[in-house]
Structure 1
Amino acid sequence: MAMASFLAVFLLMELIAGGYRDGANGLSMNYYFFSCPSAEAIVRNTVTSALQSDPTLAAGLVRMHFHDCWIQGCDGSVLLDSTKDNTAEKESPGNQSVRGFELIDDVKEQLEKQCPGVVSCADIVAMAAREAVALSGGPVYDIPKGRKDGRRSKIEDTLNAPAPTFNASELVRVFGLRGFSAQDMVALSGGHTLGVARCLTFKNRLSDPADPTMDSYFSKTLSKTCSGGDDAEQTFDMTRNNFDNFYFQALQRKSGVLFSDQTLYNNPITKSIVKGYAMNQAKFFLDFQQAMVKMSLLDVKEGSQGEVRADCRKIN
């Protein structure tokens, strides 16, 4: 009996030391263990329900996490609405592929009823993306929680985001500046196995002459898509709602939709990584989940550096 009591006390001390305590600075896997134990379940159930109704939403949630973290760090800045004095990040043309704002609002509303002022919008975005990947057939992984929400969101900051016109060398360079290896970058690019691209982002490849790195038959497919206008959509691979390695197989067939996709197979540094992922889905999954955890830690705000918004669309 005494030993059981000792073990219980020891476990409690370990939990606290690991950052489980309400309000403790520093991220941890179970940051909300005491302060909001229902947080994980609420996010998971809400995302599950949403994807059952609309499987295409998974791609939008994954994009949301990336676009949030790349600008100002993982701080929920992509969620903030514009005001009369400021145009926010979400208005950027590069953020038009981001979807799921209403889902984040729904999760936040539920959490504010359960444990008001505890769970940040930034953490909700990160957890929602994690669930979207797993529910689409991708790897199951966990991420540390405890991010605070930022107070800045400006459209001009999005100019620093990687562009669909970047070649592999440029992608390696800009990702390297954020601490990612070439392998991390290619793995994260594999997130394009979900979703679609709008004609506006790839029509430059169809000008006369067409991009020579593209399969001629696939070029006709993209031209047909763009006959529907700039907002016409083209899937990145044949299974737009399934998280798999078909994206990398498409690159091998010279059927990458964006220039920044196909360039990964045209550069000797990244080509071998693409070939490896196209042949071994398990390896892609492992590297993707590790890269996602690394991305989720980009420039996170802790303690007084940020806040926990009551409404994800506006600062407190």
Structure 2
Amino acid sequence: MKLLFVADALESFKIYKDTTFAMMREAVNRGHSLSACEPKDLMWQRGQPVTAYVRDITLTGDPHHWFSAVQTAPHERPQALKDFDAVVMRKDPPFDSEYVYTTHLLEQAQREGAKVFNHPRALRDHPEKLAILEWPQFTGPTLVTRDAQDIKRFHAEHRDIILKPLDGMGGMGIFRVKEDGLNLGSIIETLNQGGAQTVMVQQFLPAIAQGDKRILVIDGQVVPYCLARIPQGNEVRGNLAAGGKGVAQALSPRDLEIAQTIGPVLAQRGLLLIGLDVIGDCLTEINVTSPTCFQEITAQTGFDVAAMFLQALEAAHVRSH
């Protein structure tokens, strides 16, 4: 298969932990060819298909210069997305207006015959923080609002809360306010921008001490191990980007129940790969843009997550013909 990865700049990859790199390496092992571009390389013009300035890449095996590209100039090779066997959308958040515009271009490419994973419309329809609203039976006490009074009332009721912006990633912009309510007003102003921005507020879950579990589901099938990201020192966030320590572990019965309920539903909607975030017994987030943790789980358990993903991608390609 000819694969196109739409991702962040290749030069920014930390390949020792990068999930997109793990996908690429496994793809090469299975005999597929690789191309890559960034969202800014996509283009549509009337009368023509959606194209991208792509780089055809090979993996070098050198950790410092991990890929070599045939193209040196950025505008050397415009390529129609429909000419690839699969387009894998792996752009990291922020899920901003530019991200949304990219999904519209990818959706047009789909109308022209491109096979895009995850499905562009499904990416738009499942913003990572808000996707949990559909499964309240799995979440802890949660509030979504712009209103400062709503947040203060929620704090008075639950006493120990987490506040977060809807478009953050890697733990950015997450605050904890305990019973004393210290700085609550200031934190609300920072996050809701005077009522202009919507905020998610959740009851603090003490089980975060055992880790924020990332559970991966590939084409509706649950990966049998999760990565518990455990906060370090006096940090309240378990995110690896915020210094959390990743410990792979088998799924609990509750983890499995959540994943087996949600996974097949979202697979039907075109989400080939999702990452569920679970603290204790509570679902806190559904990651659809570029779920990570492949390398950590594989290194610690021997279960080859990238192989499972590529197998699913190959099967999806066969189904689409």
In proportion to residue count, which structure has more helix? 1
- RCO (CA 8 Å, sep 6+): is it higher in 1 or 2? 1
